[in-house]
A and B are shown apart, each in its own frame.
Chain A
Amino acid sequence: MESNKKNTNQEDKKEEAEGLQEGSEIEYVSYGGEHHLPLIMNLVDQELSEPYSIFTYRYFVYLWPQLSFLAFHDGKCVGTVVCKMGEHRNTLRGYIAMLVVLKPYRGRGIATELVTRSIRVMMDSGCEEVTLEAEVTNKGALALYGRLGFIRAKRLFRYYLNGVDAFRLKLLFPRPEAHQHQSIMKLGFGTYELGSDQQNEETSAE
């Protein structure tokens, strides 16, 4: 396995990429079981700096197989997305853990399609928002998520071991009631009325 990977030289890559241009389709599949695991691990190992143990992968794909997707080109796995979702402060929240597309296949919308699929499933499962972290220097990922509607909610100081800051990106799904944002206080500066009944009135009016 190892040596195969290393022997993929420039020419092979070119061929692959050209093959893609000639119109062979990219196939997207949801995580389908044990045979997909090594494919995912290989991709992520190659492209991301953080080493993950096999347990980390299992943690994600066994608990949320429906949120992980793989992209194939001519039977070869060229991209993947790994996610989770769970309770966070009384809301259901999706989280994108890993996203990778092989270098020769980048810039063709594969990553966009992969995350879009995951996000759809999260939305349909009742998530209120989706989050992830990305290095502040990862222009490609930041642009990609920006176009999908993610905002940079926070900056995380020296989040990664290499000392680089991260952004926490967030995507909030529309909620019907969100259009009348509920405040815990319905009191303004200068209005000297503070009464619990007033507060009750306002909330019950909705």
Chain B
Amino acid sequence: MAAEMTDGIEKFADNTDAQVPSNPSFPSGDQTVWADVSPLLQLASQDLHDGELIHGENFNLFAAMSALEIMDPKMDSGIVSTYCSVDEAIEKGAAPVPLSFNSTIDIQCTIDIMDHLLACEATWHKGHSLAQTVFSCIYLLRPDRISSHALLHSYCMVVRVTCNAVVSAVSDARTNEEEDLFTMTYGLPLKGEGDEKCLSILHAVDETISRQLRASKAPSTKRRVLEDIEPLQTNADLEGGLCKAVLCRLRFRKHFYHVLTCMRRPQGKGLELARKHITSCLSELDSMLKLEEFLKCKSICRTVKDATDDETTASGCQPIGFDFSLNSRLSAPTPPRAIKLLSWRKAVDYFKKLLHDLEVICSYTLDPVLEVVLRFVVAFQKLHPDLVARAYLQLLLVQEGKLYGRDPVFAMICKASLLPDTVKNHDLQKNETIIQLGQLLTNLLRILCTNSAWQRRKLGKILQEWRIVHAQLELAFRKEYGDISNTSNEDVGMNICSYILIWVEEQTYWIATRFLTLGFELELYSPCDYCMVYWYIYVILIKLAERTHIKMMRSNENSRRKGKKKRDSVKDGAKDHQIPPAVSLLQCQICLAEGLVMMLAALRNEYNAFQSVGPFNSEHERFLQHFELLQKACIPDGVSYVSFKETINHARLSTSSTYNCFKDAQRTAKELRTSYSNDPEKLNELRMIEQVAEHNVVALNLVRHLGTLDPSLKVYFEFSHHPHFASAVVKRS
């Protein structure tokens, strides 16, 4: 079909070539002339039937998918829209000002709008476009219309200002690679006149309503004295409750805006204050929830539908003044679809969660030690924070290329390499490769703040960069200081270099470990891949432990050498040979990983379990795919599918080594408890390791003793005790 059509066009074009009228405003180029295509199209249109197309070379999948079938309600959102434009909607009374001439209804409707906006805002944070959520509010689209309605005006203003603050935080953080929709604000009135006065306006409204609330509480005898205060609305029975409902909503907005601005003060200087505002926000949200019943039953109801769980207002009434289809043309690259808003309750829950996440950030100590920073970010990510919270964390961590906008990156690198404080002003910091390393490090911090799916992909990619910077550092150092492996040399510069190199290696293995373990959280591995994944983790962890150990030993050595005279040398020596707790903890994990590799391998070898046999490829291809990025970057050097196969080929359930791996992990974890007695996070990790080891020992024994007798026994792996070390469960199938 497509070919036929093109032929037709070519033929036709030949005939008409002669009578081309020229277009004066756009001159013809060397290769092009202007031609009137209308006769051509007319002719062609008789040939082309409904649903047919002419296939041009640049017609790609995206173009095909972006095509709309007009009047198909599944695709053409235009046919479901009620109005053609905002003006038409207003003309037809979709967003009246005031909302009602009955002042009670007017206030109730205003509260509904506030609630619905909150639902919209949460839905936006959760990944829908601003245009289809918050800016489906006609009042927000035409702010001047409501300047006479002080309450609605101030509320809309603070919502707009807040959205603007959030958009700029997220775009500044640039963590939102996959979440572009979030910062798409094209064509929306996100900035309004007088926005800077937002807080004072809000304050004034707050003051008035507070007075109205006080007046409503006063006994009727005293009311006369307060006569000059006009009530919020005319129904005296509802006055107190409505004042309260409005006040907690306004105050929530005020404090929330404060939280956002405080958190953006440089060097984390506003965190303390932000925490106070977070506390206030949470208590206002609670007040909102407490007044839900009041609003539900006291609504002189306009359009209460049957109560369901997905109402977007506390009262359960439909808000007026919203039309999601108005903006749909601005909202998305693909044909716009109807979206489902979060309910008001869910929106409140969302904001609670957001505020708790922000509170965690605000309570952070701004520790200058990289290891502490990394631990904090990783722990924070376990809370599954949404985009906004992650963006604020990232903005706190990296400001103007410095940690917290305060500590230079080179100082951070020196600390991480366990170099003495004195070197942090060394000339080396001006070295180009060191500067590059600094950028890699700040980039790493940024990446760790992104959603885990995106994060894992980015981590995989930067492994290569870390590997290359390591090679470049080596070259650069050698050029400057000669052979760096000669540690006896006392040259300060050289000493620094070898320390930094060890740390770069350690950090690279840390990234690789995070890359691999995130795969479990993202459910990327199937059980038949566990064996090779644990094997790779095992190999990487050994390297990581080695580097950490070397780094710590050297630093000990150094400080001892520099320390005054020799003290009790025997005691000193003993201390030296002790394995640092950080390394022992890694050893626990190494044992677990090794145990799992051997257990899985034995099950494969003896029971034919956990094997993957597809018709098109083999396990080798799975290995290449899972570890492609690590292999490309030679992390670690010299491991391959062949080495994996060699390790597992002879694994048998009867050998005691598997059993011993788990036993060792368990024992070491127990011993380590005292070293980490005041570190709850590490204690928790130790406890989880013990549990995994214990369960696997039990399972192993069961299979060993019953396996051959009872063929119906099956082994499953679950992550019930640790997020990435599996526990075996034996069940009858």
Chain A: CB-nearest residue to B505: A189
The CA-CA distance from A152 to B457 in the complex, in Å, is: 13
Query: Mask for A170-204, Cβ within 8 A of B = 1, else 0?
Result: 11111000110101111111111010000000000
Q: Which residues of A contact B179 (CB under 8 A)?
A: 157-158
- Return the contact of B637 from the options A146, A148, A189 (Cβ within 8 A): A189
Contact A194 B75 (CB under 8 A): no
A32 at interface, CB cutoff 8 A? no
Query: Mask for B634-646, Cβ within 8 A of A = 1, else 0?
Result: 1011101100000
Most buried by B among A157, A178, A184: A157
Chain B: CB-nearest residue to A129: B625
Contact A163 B127 (CB under 8 A): yes
Chain B positions 478-495 with a Cβ under 8 Å from a chain A Cβ: 478, 484-485
Chain B: CB-nearest residue to A37: B51
Contact B620 A54 (CB under 8 A): no
- Return the contact of B616 from the options A56, A59, A119, A152 (Cβ within 8 A): A119
- Return the contact of B453 from the options A51, A147, A156, A186 (Cβ within 8 A): A156
The CA-CA distance from A179 to B618 in the complex, in Å, is: 12
Given contacts A55-B67, A56-B67, contact A151 B625 (CB under 8 A): yes
B307 at interface, CB cutoff 8 A? no
Q: Which residues of B contact A192 (CB under 8 A)?
A: 474, 478, 484-485
| Number of residues of chain A lying within 8 A (CB) of chain B | 52
Contact B55 A194 (CB under 8 A): no
Q: Which residues of B contact A171 (CB under 8 A)?
A: 614, 616-617, 621
Contact A179 B620 (CB under 8 A): yes
Contact A148 B616 (CB under 8 A): yes
The CA-CA distance from A14 to B525 in the complex, in Å, is: 38
Q: Which residues of A contact B621 (CB under 8 A)?
A: 149, 171-174, 178
Given contacts A56-B67, A84-B61, contact A185 B620 (CB under 8 A): no
Q: Which residues of B contact A150 (CB under 8 A)?
A: 614
Contact B523 A155 (CB under 8 A): yes
B554 to chain A, nearest CB (A): 15
A108 at interface, CB cutoff 8 A? no
Chain A: CB-nearest residue to B474: A192
Chain A: CB-nearest residue to B484: A192
The CA-CA distance from A181 to B141 in the complex, in Å, is: 58
B68 at interface, CB cutoff 8 A? yes
Contact A149 B622 (CB under 8 A): yes
Stretch of B16-24, B404-412, B465-473 on the interface side: B465-473
Q: Which residues of B contact A178 (CB under 8 A)?
A: 620-621, 624
- Return the contact of A55 from the options B53, B526, B634 (Cβ within 8 A): B53
Contact A185 B471 (CB under 8 A): yes
- Return the contact of B633 from the options A155, A157, A161, A185 (Cβ within 8 A): A185
Chain B positions 384-428 with a Cβ under 8 Å from a chain A Cβ: none
Query: Mask for A99-131, Cβ within 8 A of B = 1, else 0?
Result: 000000000000000001001000100000000
The CA-CA distance from A186 to B471 in the complex, in Å, is: 11
The CA-CA distance from A153 to B52 in the complex, in Å, is: 36
B279 at interface, CB cutoff 8 A? no
Contact A189 B631 (CB under 8 A): no
Q: Which residues of A contact B526 (CB under 8 A)?
A: 146, 151-152
Contact A151 B474 (CB under 8 A): no
Contact B625 A157 (CB under 8 A): no
B75 to chain A, nearest CB (A): 5
B74 at interface, CB cutoff 8 A? yes
Q: Which residues of A contact B633 (CB under 8 A)?
A: 183, 185
| Number of residues of chain B lying within 8 A (CB) of chain A | 70
A8 at interface, CB cutoff 8 A? no
Contact A181 B624 (CB under 8 A): yes
Query: Mask for B48-80, Cβ within 8 A of A = 1, else 0?
Result: 000111010001110111011100101100000
Q: Which residues of A contact B225 (CB under 8 A)?
A: none
Q: Which residues of A contact B637 (CB under 8 A)?
A: 187-191
A200 to chain B, nearest CB (A): 16
B178 at interface, CB cutoff 8 A? yes
Q: Which residues of B contact A172 (CB under 8 A)?
A: 617, 621-622, 624-625
Chain A: CB-nearest residue to B61: A59
A159 to chain B, nearest CB (A): 9
Contact B523 A152 (CB under 8 A): yes
B50 to chain A, nearest CB (A): 9
Chain A: CB-nearest residue to B460: A154
Contact B474 A194 (CB under 8 A): yes
B612 at interface, CB cutoff 8 A? yes
Given contacts A173-B616, A191-B637, contact A54 B622 (CB under 8 A): no
Q: Which residues of B contact A34 (CB under 8 A)?
A: 1
Contact A184 B632 (CB under 8 A): yes
A165 at interface, CB cutoff 8 A? yes
Contact A62 B55 (CB under 8 A): yes
Contact A151 B634 (CB under 8 A): no
B643 to chain A, nearest CB (A): 12
Q: Which residues of B contact A156 (CB under 8 A)?
A: 178, 453
Contact B625 A58 (CB under 8 A): no
- Return the contact of A183 from the options B61, B617, B618, B632 (Cβ within 8 A): B632
B406 to chain A, nearest CB (A): 31
A192 to chain B, nearest CB (A): 6
Given contacts A51-B72, A149-B621, A151-B526, contact A58 B53 (CB under 8 A): yes
Q: Which residues of B contact A151 (CB under 8 A)?
A: 524, 526, 529, 622, 625-626
Chain B: CB-nearest residue to A174: B617
Query: Mask for B347-384, Cβ within 8 A of A = 1, else 0?
Result: 00000000000000000000000000000000000000
B640 to chain A, nearest CB (A): 7
The CA-CA distance from A157 to B386 in the complex, in Å, is: 12
The CA-CA distance from A189 to B547 in the complex, in Å, is: 10
Contact B178 A157 (CB under 8 A): yes
Contact B640 A149 (CB under 8 A): no
Contact A152 B524 (CB under 8 A): yes
B544 to chain A, nearest CB (A): 11
Q: Which residues of A contact B61 (CB under 8 A)?
A: 56, 59, 84
B722 at interface, CB cutoff 8 A? no
Given contacts A55-B64, A149-B615, A174-B620, contact A62 B1 (CB under 8 A): yes
Q: Which residues of B contact A187 (CB under 8 A)?
A: 471, 634, 637
Most buried by A among B454, B475, B616: B616
Q: Which residues of B contact A24 (CB under 8 A)?
A: none
A136 at interface, CB cutoff 8 A? yes
A134 to chain B, nearest CB (A): 12
Q: Which residues of B contact A148 (CB under 8 A)?
A: 614-616
A53 at interface, CB cutoff 8 A? yes
The CA-CA distance from A165 to B451 in the complex, in Å, is: 12
B337 at interface, CB cutoff 8 A? yes
Contact A165 B620 (CB under 8 A): no
The CA-CA distance from A75 to B457 in the complex, in Å, is: 46
Chain A: CB-nearest residue to B504: A189
Contact A54 B51 (CB under 8 A): yes
Chain B: CB-nearest residue to A58: B53
B601 to chain A, nearest CB (A): 19
The CA-CA distance from A147 to B51 in the complex, in Å, is: 37
The CA-CA distance from A183 to B612 in the complex, in Å, is: 26
Contact A53 B75 (CB under 8 A): yes
- Which 7 pairs of residues, A with B, have the shortest CB-CB distance? A149-B614, A188-B637, A51-B74, A59-B64, A155-B453, A157-B453, A172-B621
Known: A153-B524, A185-B467. 14 other contacts (CB 8 A): A54-B51, A54-B69, A56-B61, A56-B65, A59-B61, A136-B523, A151-B626, A152-B526, A156-B178, A157-B178, A171-B617, A185-B633, A188-B638, A194-B474
**Residue contacts A-B, CB under 8 angstroms, 13 given:** A51-B72, A59-B59, A152-B526, A155-B452, A155-B453, A157-B179, A157-B453, A167-B523, A174-B621, A187-B471, A188-B636, A190-B505, A192-B478
* B-binding residues in A (CB < 8 A): 34, 51-56, 58-59, 62-63, 84, 116, 119, 123, 136, 146-158, 161, 163, 165, 167, 170-174, 178-179, 181, 183-192, 194
